[in-house]
Amino acid sequence: MQQYFNQLAATATAALRPREVFTAFVSGEDSDFCRFNGAKVRQAGSVKQCKLELRLIDGRRNAQGELSLSGVRGEDEQRVLHMLGLLREQLKQLPEDPYLLYATEVHSSERRQISDIPDSAEVVSRIVDQAKGVDLVGIYASGSLYRGFANSLGQRNWFETANFNFDFSLYLRADKAVKTGYAGFAWDESAFAAKLATAKAQLAVLDQPVRSITPGQYRVYLAPQALAEVAEMLSWGGFSLKAQKTKQTPLLKMIEAGVRMAPSVTMIEDTAGGSAADFNDLGYTKPAQVKLIDAGVYRDALISPRSAQEYGVATNGAGSDESPQSLSLAAGSLSDEQILPTLGDGIYLNNLWYLNFSDRPAGRVTGMTRFASFWVDHGEIKQPLNVMRFDESILRLFGDKLVGLTAKRELLPSSRTYGQRSLEGVHLPGAVIDDFSLTL
C-alpha cells in the first residue's frame, strides 16, 4: 500500500498549478473481527478499507476533501484528480486562514512495528477452548493498520503496525458480569489464560449476595481499565495548549495556581513506545516523547500546528484535538500481592463507566461503578457491590489521595472501531486511592 499511496501522490503533484501545494493523509486497515456470545462464535468477518484525505493549499487558502480508495490505480487516480478539481473550485470562495500552518521542510520517515499474531481462526479456536463452561461475550479484532503522509514538496511518511484486541466479558445473569480484555502485538496463551482465570474467580464472587454501602469516602483500588477511564477524561483537553489558553483545561489549577500531583506521578506522550503514527496529517513529525507531567509538576502541552500559529509557539506534531495518542503513566512500587493488603478495608473497582465532568475547571469528574466491583475486608475480596455514582477531583486522585501505583502496568489499546480501528492506547498501572467519594 505504501508504494500505491506514493504513486497517487505523484499523480496529484503532477496536476498542480503554480502556487498550489497539496497534502495527503491515508489511513487504512486489513482487519478480522469475531463476535462471541455464550462462548461461541456468532459472527465473523473481515474489513479491508483505505481512506484518503486531501488538502489543497493556495497561499493562505485551503480546502479539504476525503475519498475511499478502491485499490484500482486508474480509478483512484481519476478520483484524486477529480477531488483536486473540486477543491480548486472551493478555494475561490474561501477566505484566507490566518492560522494555517503546514510542514514546508521535508522530513520523510518509515516505521514498522514488529508483531507476532497467529492466524485469526487459530486464535478464535483457542478462545473457544479456554472459555468452555462460562458465558463469554465480546469482540476479537486483529490485523494490520497503517497511516501515511505525502505532500507536493516531496515529503513521504509511513507507519504500519499489526495488533489484536479482545474486549470481552464473562456474564453471570441480569446486570452481573466481569468485563476485561487482552490486547497486544504478540499472542501469549499463558497471559490470556491468566486473564480468563482471574475473570472466572471474580465471576464466582459475583454469585454471592450483593452488598449495599452508604455514600461516603472509601479507600479504593482502581484497576488499570478503571484508571484508563479517568485518563481518558484527563486527556479531554488536559494537555491541550488551546484548552489552556481558553481556560477549558481540567488541569487549570496546575497551570495557573501551581497545584501539583503526587511526586510518583509522571505522564508522557510516549509516541516511540506506543502504537500510533509518529507524524500528523500536516506533515509534522512527533518527538519520541513529550513529558506532560514530571514528578507531579505540569510540564509541556500538546501543540497542534494550528495552535502553534495562533499562539506563536512551535508545534510538537499533535493532532487537531491536541489529545494524547499514546499516554503512559509511570509505574509505582506496589506488587500484585500488595494490592489487597494495601487496600485493607475498601472497594476493588475493575471498571468505571459513563464519566463526564461535573466541574471542568476544577478537574472534577463524575461517573458510575459498573461490572465487577467488590467489597474488600481485611485484604480479602468478600462480596459484590451494588452500582454507585462517584464524584471526584482528578487533581486529588493523582495528588494527596494517591496511596500508591502498581509496579505492573497494562497496555490498553483503544477498542474503538467507529469508522475504522483506532491506533490510540494507554499504558497504565493500577492505583490505590484514599477517601474516594461515592455520592449516590
Confidence of residue 114 (pLDDT cuts 50, 70, 90): confident
pLDDT at 34: 97
- Name 218's bridge partners: 436
**Antiparallel, parallel or unpaired: β 380-384 and 364-377:** antiparallel
Confidence of residue 282 (pLDDT cuts 50, 70, 90): very high
pLDDT at 416: 84
| Close Cβ partners of 105 (under 8 Å, ≥ 6 residues apart) | none
- Name 329's bridge partners: 267
Q: Are the C-beta atoms of 75 and 256 separated by less than 8 Å?
A: no
pLDDT at 415: 85
pLDDT at 132: 93
pLDDT at 432: 98
Mean pLDDT of 379-407: 97
Q: Are the C-beta atoms of 157 and 167 separated by less than 8 Å?
A: no
Pick from 341, 408, 421, 411: which is nearest to 381 by CA?
A: 341
C-alpha dist (Å) from residue 389 to 132, 350, 438: 34, 15, 6
Residue 90 to residue 83: CA distance in whole angstroms: 11
Q: Is the pLDDT of residue 38 over 90?
A: yes
**Antiparallel, parallel or unpaired: β 176-184 and 326-329:** unpaired
Q: Is the pLDDT of residue 225 over 90?
A: yes
pLDDT at 177: 94
Cell for 123?
486464535
pLDDT digits 0-9 by tens, 53-72: 999 999 999 999 999 999 99
Angle between helices 120-130 and 189-206 (to 10 degrees): 40
pLDDT digits 0-9 by tens, 14-34: 999 999 999 999 999 999 999
pLDDT at 174: 82
Confidence of residue 94 (pLDDT cuts 50, 70, 90): very high
Helix/strand/coil for 301: coil
Pick from 79, 96, 102, 109: which is nearest to 12 by CA?
A: 79
> How open is the CA angle 109-111-115, to the nearest 5 degrees?
175
Mean pLDDT of 263-290: 96
Q: How would DSSP label each residue in 11-59?
A: HHHHTPPTTEEEEEEEEEEEEEEEEEETTEEEEEEEEEEEEEEEEEEET
pLDDT at 417: 86
Show the domains of the chain with their CATH numbers.
Answer: 2-126+141-166 (3.30.2290.10), 216-438 (no CATH)
Confidence of residue 398 (pLDDT cuts 50, 70, 90): very high
Residue 373 to residue 353: CA distance in whole angstroms: 12
Question: How much of the chain exceeds pLDDT 90, in percent?
Answer: 95
pLDDT at 339: 98
Residue 163 to residue 413: CA distance in whole angstroms: 9
Q: H helices then E strands: how many in the chain?
A: 10, 18
CB neighbours (10 Å) of residue 383?
16
- DSSP H or E segment with residue 129: helix 120-130
Q: pTM for the whole thing?
A: 0.94
Q: Is the pLDDT of residue 175 over 90?
A: no
Q: Is the pLDDT of residue 192 over 90?
A: yes
Question: How much of the chain exceeds pLDDT 70, in percent?
Answer: 100
418: exposed, middle or buried (Cβ count in 10 Å: 0-12, 13-18, 19+) = exposed
Q: Is the pLDDT of residue 328 over 90?
A: yes
- Name 162's bridge partners: 144
Cell for 315?
508545534
Cell for 153?
514538496
Q: Is the pLDDT of residue 418 over 90?
A: no
Pick from 178, 205, 181, 184: which is nearest to 195 by CA?
A: 181
pLDDT digits 0-9 by tens, 132-172: 999 999 999 999 999 999 999 999 999 999 999 999 999 99
Q: Is the pLDDT of residue 244 over 90?
A: yes
